[in-house]
Amino acid sequence: MPDYDIVIRGGRIVTAAEVFTADLAIRGGTIAAIGHDLGKGREEIDATGRLVLPGGIDPHCHIEEVGADGSVQEESFVSGSRAALAGGTTSFICFKPQWRGQTLAQSAPDYETRAARSLADYSFHQVITDPTPKVLATEIPALAARGIRSLKVFLTYDPLRLTDGDFLKVLASARRLGLLVTVHCENFDAIAWQQEALLAAGLTDPVHHAWARPPVVEREATLRAMALAELVDQPLQIFHVSCGEVAEEIARAKARGQKVWAETCTHYLTHGVDDLERPDFEGAKFVCSPALRDRSEAARLWEAIRAGTIDIVSSDHCGFSFATAKKDPGASSYGQGAAMLRPDGTPAFNAIPNGAPGIENRLTVLFSEGVSTGRIDLPTFVRLTSANAAERYGLGGRKGTLMPGADADVVLWDPELERTITVGEMQHAIDYTPWEGYRARGWPVLTIRRGEIVMRDGVLLAQPGSGRFLARGPYAAIAPRGVVPNGFDTVGRGSGQT
Ligand code: DUC
Ligand code: ZN
Ligand code: ZN
């Protein structure tokens, strides 16, 4: 009778704090023991020469999103989660929509049912676009009680964006209930103003997407978001920091003691504005927001990562196939302004759906760029890809860690395996990858999700529906600081509920 379900022997165990050689044993879906000379496993895995990592957590991805018009993103929970597992990510957090004029309950009521088809574990950020008294007083508290403990607000895109007044209401509600607020920071009016002038001048190419939203529009909105969160004394997670000047402002806020955190995304470390200039409309593949920057910005993002200003790398996976959706100005609410077709039938830059796929390549690209080049060490890689997301989003102790009692989400990683990324070998449903032809060094060879081997040598073994919803309880990281201007606690006095 074996002692364990699985024993992984002789690998180098990597945690957020250390690297050491040991065996890891799994029983009943959790990690049972880490040590030497562990008893027998029903399945024995030789991990000599391999790294043993916690399964990745991608806390920012758009999967099977349903638009206000009922349209559904091509990347389904099945294809998106297969891509996640293939790339070594065992959990992700995606976005439950709210559409303006509708309650949370009315907006995509079947979204959680759709998500239940996932092969990976999952949770949700609730998007708030219309914080009515009913949403604030009853729906958000009900959400928190069901374990959805993070909200997402947009400061740009119509009809998603919030005014500053509505943003304050969301921040206040989150503080009252102990939720984290995540935010997309770009200034809507500044972008609209730039767009109008560019379009009037006949500048309609994909690269003009970046001209319409230069770093200053991201910096302004980031500063504003942080200032409003400071006023409310509400912890804040800044999404997808794209450049050094934004990271500098976040570093300043952190130095003042504010509870503000930041992520960047894989594509900002490997791609640049020049990708938007690729011929034959191929630049559209790289239209995402914030926009890709000058290539020199990647070095500044690495500095911010090393300084701890940025401590999560997510994918912002948001796939739109090149042959179809990228050429369809009506395909998504992630565009801005009236749809206009150019003489060749392709949309002007402002109507190209924003986003690129990345959930499958996130770990291998970050490992290649970070660890294989010596920019970061292995524990930092684990912090960026799983451990910090677990702490930040209320999954600590359960996910993002290798220790007895934690979920057995484990990835066997070959640090020397070199492979060329190509879309034909990928699991995602999108018809391209931004990393086509990229020579990666470091690749996942086996993924275990809650004790089940779900990917071996690129072959997916899990069934749709085997992923679980991750309900998240209250957690310490997002407690407010207790610092408000003049000591006058506006939220504590009941303001901001309507
Ligand atoms: N940025 C993207 O590129 N796509 C989805 C939404 C976003 O903020
Ligand atoms: Zn965003
Ligand atoms: Zn996003």
Residue 203 Cα, ligand 2 centroid: separation in angstroms? Answer: 24
> pLDDT truncated to tens, each residue of the chain (498 aa)?
899 999 999 999 999 999 999 999 999 999 999 999 999 999 999 999 999 999 999 999 999 999 888 889 999 999 999 999 999 999 999 999 999 999 999 998 999 999 999 999 999 999 999 999 999 999 999 999 999 999 999 999 988 999 999 999 999 999 999 999 999 999 999 999 999 999 999 999 999 999 999 999 999 999 999 999 999 999 999 999 999 999 999 999 999 999 999 999 999 999 999 999 999 999 999 999 999 999 999 999 999 999 999 999 999 999 999 999 999 988 777 877 788 899 999 999 999 999 999 999 999 999 999 999 999 999 999 999 999 999 999 999 999 999 999 999 999 999 999 999 999 999 999 999 999 999 999 999 999 999 999 999 999 999 999 999 999 999 999 999 999 988 888 887 766 565
Show the DSSP H helices in 146-214 as ranges.
Answer: 164-177, 188-200, 207-212
Query: How many angstroms separate the CA atoms of 387 and 392, rounded?
Result: 9
* Three-state secondary-structure class, residue 280: coil
The residue whose CA is least distant from atom 4 of ligand 1 is: 355
Q: 354 in ligand 1 pocket by Cβ < 6 Å? A: yes
* CA–CA dist 288, 258 (Å, integer): 29
Q: Which of 155, 316, 326 to mutate to test the pocket of ligand 1 (most atoms within 8 A of CB)?
A: 316
On whether the CB atoms of residues 251 and 308 are closer than 8 A, the answer is no
Query: Would the CB of 336 count as within 6 Å of ligand 1?
Result: no
456: tokens are 């071996």
CA of 3 to the centre of ligand 2 (A): 46
CA of 422 to the centre of ligand 1 (A): 23
- Residues 330 and 440: their CA atoms lie apart, in Å, by 35
Which of these, 200, 211, 238, lies nearest to 222 by C-alpha position?
A: 238
- How far does CA 404 lie from the centroid of its chain? 27
CA distance readout (Å), 22 to 10, 50, 445: 5, 11, 18
Distance CA 410, CA 401 (A): 9
The whole-angstrom separation of Cα 226 and Cα 380 is 26
Amino acid at 388: N
Nearest atom in ligand 1 to 62's CA: 5
State whether the beta carbon of 183 lies less than 6 angstroms from ligand 1: no
Residue 372's pLDDT is: 97
The protein residue with its alpha carbon nearest to ligand 1, atom 2, reads 355
Look at the pTM and tell me if it is higher than 0.95. yes
Minimum-distance ligand to the CA of 291? 1
Give the position, in ligand 1's atom list, of the atom nearest the Cα of 287: 3
252: CB partners within 8 A, 6+ apart = none
Q: What is the Cα–Cα distance from 31 to 416, expressed in whole angstroms?
A: 26
Cα distance between residue 256 and residue 477, in whole Å: 17
Residue among 187, 286, 354 whose CB has most ligand 1 atoms within 8 A, to mutate: 354
**Distance of CA 490 from the midpoint of ligand 1 (Å):** 33
Rounded CA gap, 251 and 257, in Å? Answer: 10
Check if 62 has its Cβ closer than 6 Å to any atom of ligand 1.
yes
Burial class (CB in 10 A: 0-12, 13-18, 19+), 322: middle
- Ligand 1 contact via 184 beta carbon (within 6 Å): yes
List the beta bridge partners of residue 418: 441
Distance 195 CA to ligand 3 centre (A): 21
Ligand 1 neighbour 229 (Cβ under 6 A) = no
State the amino acid at position 160 in one-letter form: L
Say which ligand is closest to the CA of 239.
Answer: 2
The two beta strands, 410-420 and 439-449, are antiparallel
Q: Which atom of ligand 1 is nearest to the CA of 356?
A: 3
Q: If you measure from the C-alpha of residue 356 to the centroid of ligand 1, how many angstroms do you get, rounded to a whole number?
A: 8
Task: Spell out the long-range contacts of 108-115 with Cβ–Cβ below 8 A and sequence spacing 24 or more.
Answer: 108/66, 110/66, 111/64, 111/66, 112/469, 114/64, 114/66, 114/76, 114/77, 115/63, 115/64, 115/77, 115/469
34: Cβ below 6 Å to ligand 1? Answer: no
CA distances from 312 to 86, 239, 262, 267, 460 (A): 20, 10, 7, 13, 26
How far, in Å, from the CA of 18 to the mean position of ligand 3?
A: 31
Strand partners, 411: 53, 447
Give the distance, in angstroms, between the CA of residue 395 and the centroid of all CA atoms in the same chain: 15
Any bridge partners for residue 95, and if so which?
A: 125
- Provide the pairing of β-strand 4-14 with 51-54: parallel
Nearest ligand atom owner, CA of 73: 1
Q: Is the CB of 289 under 6 A from ligand 1?
A: yes
Asked whether 351 lines ligand 1 (CB < 6 A), one says no
- Which of 58, 60, 62, 359 should be mutated for ligand 1, with most atoms under 8 A from CB? 62
State the distance from the centre of ligand 3 to the C-alpha of 150, rounded, in angstroms: 14
Closest Cα to residue 348, out of 198, 204, 192? 204
Q: Which phi and psi (to 5°) does residue 464 adopt?
A: -55, 140
Paired with 182 in beta bridges are 152, 237
Q: Are 378 and 14 in contact (CB under 8 A)?
A: yes
